[in-house]
């Protein structure tokens, strides 16, 4: 696990209070009630503050960022 | 000629769809044809009122100019691009805002049919240009997007990126036929909703006060029939617009998805007037929340969400019209969404029982009462009589 992955996972844990997201990185976070639209916006703001990566609210469909791994991939694409 | 109401509209749709079908089956692109058909239909929509035709033309030219200007600012990385974009956004919203205030004082204030819906489309384009999501839409494509006639007067609200993708993607014969048949199905269903469902509900609405003498019961019956009338009329119209769009090769988003199956009020707004609620979610609620979080306006995420719901829905109410009925309707739904969100986050009993069958049933029932009381507010059955105004 590289540094970026660890930082993003820590952010998701901080926002959702769910430790599982570090282990089960392919579960659907919206289906499991771990993320809701509010927490997702908070995550986008945190990603912008921490990595300087801006993701506009309508840029991604929910299916493109609904798991821990997908969120990491979306940030990595834009670094 | 009013769309989806006058027989002439339906008669004209026959050759328009037939020509589209011939082109589609020969795998010809439908974009330019769609624009020609739309210009023709809009000319027929406005021809009875020259002032609205002129106002519409000016609005269209202004929107195209604003888009070209804002896109240029960001392409050239103009140092004041963001500030100037805000000016452009204000100019884009101004005609609708002035119109909504103007009609309060003069019912014949200049405007044109569809000004509300075209504003949603033009505003969203400017915002997405600023977000860097739209960078190569041509002026011609933007014109087609703004004029596309099936959803012109009352939605569903299209998204420009999906629309432009549809314009640019050639359809195989089979892919077009699939859209044609699906579109025909939605159109027929929509017509049944509007001309059978809505007519029955309308009859009920008319009968209720005559046959029920107890005022409280009559109010319940009227609210129920009015809600059903609203649903069948609007969902019927939306389904016909969606069907017609599909037959012209464009995916028009679905606007209603079994709203009376909603088990909480948040779910209701995921099922009712979906293109409006998702538009407000994406361009008002999320922008406000993002701003509030990064500027730390509120202590908790919960407070941010509740304030966001209030702003979002109050704006929705005001957009319907600046009247006591609509404003109260908007605030009411803001309060209901905030309350629902708060309970789902904080109420331990909810978390323990939310999957129990009896709880889901009770939650559905409460939701329907909230929804139909909302319809009564919307229809002017509550606030106007209380204020002594005629609704």
B281 in reach of chain A (CB within 8 A): yes
Q: Which two tokens stand for residue A61?
A: 């469909």
Residue B9 lies in a domain: no
B282 in reach of chain A (CB within 8 A): yes
Domain shared by B222 and B241, yes or no:
yes
Which of B247, B274, B289 is the last residue before a domain boundary? B247
Residue B189 lies in domain: 174-247
Hey, are the CB atoms on A56 and B294 less than 8 Å from each other?
A: no
**For range A52-73, the mean pLDDT:** 89
Burial zone of B13 (CB within 10 Å; 0-12 exposed, 13-18 middle, 19+ buried): buried
**For range B133-153, the mean pLDDT:** 96
Hey, are the CB atoms on A57 and B128 less than 8 Å from each other?
A: no
pLDDT in the model for residue B390: 64
pLDDT at B391 over 60: no
User: Measuring CA to CA, which residue among B145, B83, B138 is closest to residue B120?
Assistant: B145
Residue B22 lies in a domain: no
What is the C-alpha to C-alpha distance for residues A20 and B318, in angstroms, rounded to an integer? 43
- Reported ipTM: 0.81
Residue B315 lies in a domain: yes
pLDDT in the model for residue B373: 96
Domain shared by B154 and B182, yes or no:
no
pLDDT at B215 over 90: no
Report for A21-35, B192-206, B291-305: range of highest mean pLDDT: B192-206
Domain shared by B215 and B166, yes or no:
no
Domain shared by B85 and B213, yes or no:
no
Hey, are the CB atoms on A37 and B286 less than 8 Å from each other?
A: yes
Q: Which of B33-37, B107-111, B151-155 has the lowest mean pLDDT?
A: B107-111
Residue B24 lies in a domain: no
- Please name the residue that has the structure tokens 């629309």: B163
What is the C-alpha to C-alpha distance for residues A65 and A59, in angstroms, rounded to an integer? 11
Which of B141, B170, B199 is the last residue before a domain boundary? B170
pLDDT at B287 over 50: yes
Domain shared by B163 and B219, yes or no:
no
* Residues A68 and A62: beta-carbon distance below 8 Å: no
Which of B170, B186, B210 is the last residue before a domain boundary? B170
Say what the pTM is.
Answer: 0.91
E-strand ranges in chain B read none
Our CA-based measurement puts residue B380 at a distance from the nearest CA of chain A, in whole angstroms, of 32
Domain shared by B40 and B153, yes or no:
yes
pLDDT in the model for residue A16: 84
Mean pLDDT of chain B: 94
Q: What angle do CA B150, B152, B158 make, to 5 degrees?
A: 85
Confidence of residue A52 (pLDDT cuts 50, 70, 90): confident
Domain shared by B141 and B226, yes or no:
no
Q: How many Cβ atoms are within 10 Å of B95's Cβ, its own excluded?
A: 22
pLDDT at A23 over 90: no
Pairwise pLDDT comparison (B296 vs B178), residue with the higher score: B178
All domains in chain A, ordered by first residue: 3-78 (1.10.1200.10)
Q: Which of A39-53, B22-36, B313-327 has the lowest mean pLDDT?
A: A39-53
Instruction: Determine the residue among B128, B131, B158, B342 to mutate to test chain A binding: the one whose Cβ has the most chain A Cβ atoms within 10 Å.
Output: B131
Q: How many domains does chain B have?
A: 3
**For range B130-151, the mean pLDDT:** 95
Residue B6 lies in a domain: no
Tell me if residue B257 is catalytic: no
Domain shared by B156 and B230, yes or no:
no
Hey, are the CB atoms on A48 and B294 less than 8 Å from each other?
A: yes
Q: How many Cβ atoms are within 10 Å of B117's Cβ, its own excluded?
A: 21
What is the C-alpha to C-alpha distance for residues B377 and B122, in angstroms, rounded to an integer? 30
Hey, are the CB atoms on B290 and A39 less than 8 Å from each other?
A: no
pLDDT over 70, % of chain B: 99
Q: Which of B10-19, B124-133, B284-293, B335-344 has the lowest mean pLDDT?
A: B284-293
Q: 3-state DSSP: chain B helix, strand, coil percent, rounded to 5?
A: 75, 0, 25
Domain shared by B166 and B179, yes or no:
no
**For range B6-22, the mean pLDDT:** 96
Q: Which two tokens stand for residue B290?
A: 């993002």
**For range B183-207, the mean pLDDT:** 94
Residue B121 lies in a domain: yes
A61 in reach of chain B (CB within 8 A): no
User: Measuring CA to CA, which residue among B331, B271, B339, B269 is closest to residue B306?
Assistant: B339
* Length of chain B in terms of residues written: 391
Catalytic residue among B202, B320, B333, B341: B320
Residue B11 lies in a domain: no
Domain shared by B288 and B300, yes or no:
yes
Residue B170 per-residue DSSP state: P
Residue B191 lies in a domain: yes
A49 in reach of chain B (CB within 8 A): yes
pLDDT in the model for residue A78: 87
Domain shared by B129 and B207, yes or no:
no
Domain shared by B208 and B267, yes or no:
no
């Amino acid at each position: 696990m590289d540094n970026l992955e660890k930082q993003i996972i820590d952010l998701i844990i901080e926002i959702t209070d769910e430790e599982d997201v570090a282990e089960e990185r392919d579960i659907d976070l919206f289906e499991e009630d771990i993320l809701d639209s509010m927490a997702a916006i908070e995550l986008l703001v945190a990603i912008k503050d921490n990595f300087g990566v801006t993701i506009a609210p309508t840029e991604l469909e929910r299916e493109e960022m609904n798991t821990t791994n997908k969120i990491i991939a979306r940030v990595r694409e834009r670094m | 000629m009013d769309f989806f109401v006058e027989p002439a509209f339906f008669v004209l749709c026959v050759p328009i769809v037939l020509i589209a079908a011939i082109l589609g089956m020969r795998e010809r692109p439908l974009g330019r044809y769609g624009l020609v058909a739309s210009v023709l239909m809009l000319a027929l929509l406005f021809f009875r009122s020259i002032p609205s035709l002129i106002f519409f033309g000016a609005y269209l030219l202004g929107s195209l100019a604003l888009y070209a200007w804002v896109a240029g600012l960001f392409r050239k990385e103009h140092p004041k691009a963001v500030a100037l974009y805000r000016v452009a956004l204000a100019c884009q919203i101004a005609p609708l805002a002035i119109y909504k205030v103007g009609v309060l004082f003069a019912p014949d204030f200049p405007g044109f049919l569809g000004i509300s819906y075209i504003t949603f489309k033009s505003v969203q384009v400017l915002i997405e240009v600023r977000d860097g999501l739209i960078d190569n839409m041509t002026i011609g494509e933007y014109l087609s997007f703004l004029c596309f006639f099936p959803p012109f007067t009352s939605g569903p609200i299209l998204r420009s990126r999906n629309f432009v993708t549809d314009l640019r993607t050639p359809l195989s014969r089979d892919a077009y036929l699939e859209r044609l048949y699906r579109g025909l199905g939605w159109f027929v269903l929509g017509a049944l909703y509007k001309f059978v469902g809505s007519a029955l509900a309308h009859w009920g609405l008319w009968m209720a006060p005559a046959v029920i003498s107890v005022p409280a019961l009559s109010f319940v019956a009227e609210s129920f029939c009015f809600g059903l009338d609203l649903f069948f009329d609007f969902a019927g119209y939306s389904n016909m617009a969606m069907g017609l769009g599909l037959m012209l090769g464009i995916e028009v988003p679905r606007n209603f998805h079994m709203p009376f199956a909603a088990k909480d009020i948040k779910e209701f707004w995921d099922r009712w007037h979906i293109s409006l609620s998702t538009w407000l979610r994406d361009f008002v609620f999320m922008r406000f929340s993002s701003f509030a979080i990064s500027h730390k306006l509120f202590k908790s995420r919960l407070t941010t969400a509740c304030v966001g719901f209030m702003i979002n829905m109050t704006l929705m109410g005001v957009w319907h019209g600046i009247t006591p009925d609509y404003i109260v309707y908007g605030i009411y739904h803001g309060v209901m969404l905030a309350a629902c969100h708060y309970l789902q986050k904080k109420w331990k009993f909810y978390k323990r029982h939310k999957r129990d069958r009896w709880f889901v049933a009770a939650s559905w029932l409460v939701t329907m009462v909230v929804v139909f009381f909302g319809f009564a507010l919307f229809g002017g059955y509550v606030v106007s009589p209380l204020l002594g105004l005629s609704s």
